[in-house]
Amino acid sequence: MKISKNKLKFIRSLNQKKQRDQNNVFLAEGPKLVEELLQVFPCQYLAATPEWLRLNSNSKAKEVVEVSIEGLKQGSLQQNPQQVLAIFEKPTYKIKLDKIKDSLCLALDDVQSPGNLGTIIRLADWFGIEDVFCSLHTADVYNPKTVQATMGALARVRVHYTPLDDLITKLDNHPIYGAFLEGKPIYNETLSQKGLIVMGNEGQGISKEIESLITDKLYIPNYPENRKGSESLNVAVASAIICAEFRRQALCQQY
């Protein structure tokens, strides 16, 4: 069986944010990703090879279509489609201030790269961070490139879009961390496990408006200290290093 022409057209249209927003859906491809998301999000449409369907006979979707790999290639947005693609309904999450104040969360100030955003969500999942707050101009989490880069972490990490200044202002006396070249070396600081870590735009860093709300400026020192090297780190790499240090200190406190 083939994917119908109308469905092919619709699938390809989901590469556009306007279409994803209008239909309140997003596209995911590949066995691992689809299988994880099927456990959490309602699935409107699923197209898969006979082999995948045999192994996942309990998968629930409003519409299921059996297709060959060649048929899958027609609808896929990937260079090398793998066995299955699915259209999921986008989730809706409420921002709960009490939960934020009682946990470690990430905030992204205008991160532009879909790949960076997806990687940050994936590492948030790795480090047990369940909420990521994005400024209104941050890349769309439901961009197919972002979805693929999360590697299924969307099933466990809630992603919110909100004006970050308003959010931070509501977090009275809550530690707000930010990455800055002029910050304090992160390895010398005692880090709270209940705080908000703000990461900035790839080119401009954290905006001046948000910088004024940061309570603790952190810096990832290079090594050796006086060696001339790269001016800065990729935002996803920097996020991983910072989150790792927060969790390392938490583990040290346990033991």
Mean per-residue pLDDT pooled into runs of 10, the chain (255 residues)? 90 96 97 96 96 93 94 88 95 94 97 98 98 98 97 97 97 94 95 96 96 97 79 92 97 83
pLDDT at 142: 98
Pairing state of beta strands 43-48 and 25-29? unpaired
Ranges for all domains in the chain classified under CATH 3.40.1280.10: 97-254
pLDDT at 38: 97
In this structure, what token pair is assigned to residue 31?
């066995």
Residues 6 or more apart whose Cβ sits within 8 Å of residue 94: none
pLDDT at 118: 98
CATH of domain 97-254: 3.40.1280.10
Query: ∠ CA(103), CA(106), CA(110), 5° rounding?
Result: 155
| Nearest of 190, 212, 200, 174 to residue 107 by alpha carbon | 200
pLDDT at 17: 97
Mutual orientation of helices 235-254 and 114-126 as an angle, nearest 10°? 10
Distance CA 80, CA 65 (A): 19
Ranges for all domains in the chain classified under CATH 3.30.1330.30: 5-89
pLDDT at 253: 82
CATH of domain 5-89: 3.30.1330.30
Q: Exposure of 26 by Cβ count < 10 A (0-12 exposed, 13-18 middle, 19+ buried)?
A: buried
Distance CA 85, CA 52 (A): 11
Q: Which residue has the tokens 């092919």?
A: 8
pLDDT at 230: 75
Please, are residues 129 and 157 in contact by the beta-carbon 8 Å criterion?
Answer: yes
Query: ∠ CA(214), CA(216), CA(219), 5° rounding?
Result: 110
pLDDT at 226: 73
pLDDT at 204: 93
